[in-house]
Homo-oligomer: A and B are copies of this chain.
Amino acid sequence: MPHPLPNSPSTLLVLLRWLLLLIPLAFVVGSLNALFLYLLDYASHTRADNPYLLYFLPLAGLVVVFIYRRFGKNSESGNNLIIDEIHQPGAGIPARMAPLVLISTVVTHLFGGSAGREGTAVQIGGACSAAYGKLFKLSGRDYQILLSAGVAAGFSALFSTPLAATIFAIEVLAVGRIRFDSVIPALFAAILADLVCSAWGTPHTQYKIDFLEHVMLFEHVVHVDLIMLGKVLIAAVAFGITGYLFGETVFVLKDIFKHVFKNPYLIAVIGGLIVIGIVSLIGNQDYIGLGVNSYREGGVSIISAFNEGGAEWYSWMLKLLLTAITLAAGFKGGEVTPLFFIGATLGNTLAWIMGAPVDLFAAIGFIAVFAAATNTPLACTIMGVELFGSDHLLYFAVACFVAYYFSGHTGIYSAQRVAVPKS
Contact = CB atoms under 8 A, between A and B. Distances in A.
Interface stretch (A37-45, A49-57, A63-71, A183-191): A183-191
A12 B180 contact: no
B1 A410 contact: yes
A97 interface: no
A408 B3 contact: yes
Contacts of A221: 198
A414 to B, nearest CB: 11
A199 B224 CA distance: 11
A222 B241 contact: no
Interface stretch (A72-80, A256-264, A317-325, A415-423): A415-423
Given A394-B191, A408-B3, A199 B218 contact: yes
B420 A181 contact: yes
Interface string A4-21: 110110011011000000
Copy number in this complex? 2
Contact of A160 (B223, B226, B397): B223
Contact of A1 (B1, B178, B408, B419): B408
A401 interface: yes
A397 B165 CA distance: 12
A421 to B, nearest CB: 7
Interface residues of A, number: 73
Contacts of A191: 223-224, 229, 394, 398
A248 B8 CA distance: 15
A207 interface: no
A406 interface: yes
B194 A220 contact: no
A179 interface: yes
A4 B200 CA distance: 44
Contact of A224 (B195, B223, B401): B195
Contacts of A83: none
A93 interface: no
B201 A220 contact: yes
Given A200-B220, A385-B393, A393-B386, A14 B163 contact: no
A199 B223 CA distance: 10
A200 to B, nearest CB: 7
Interface in A387-423: 389-390, 393-394, 397-398, 401-402, 404-410, 418-423
A336 B405 CA distance: 32
27 contacts: A4-B407, A5-B408, A8-B237, A8-B406, A11-B423, A15-B405, A162-B223, A163-B393, A163-B394, A176-B179, A178-B178, A179-B419, A180-B420, A181-B420, A183-B401, A184-B402, A191-B223, A191-B224, A195-B217, A195-B222, A195-B226, A200-B218, A201-B218, A201-B220, A386-B390, A389-B389, A390-B390
Complex A-B, nearest 4 residue pairs according to Cβ-Cβ distance, in ascending order: A4-B408, A1-B409, A390-B390, A199-B217
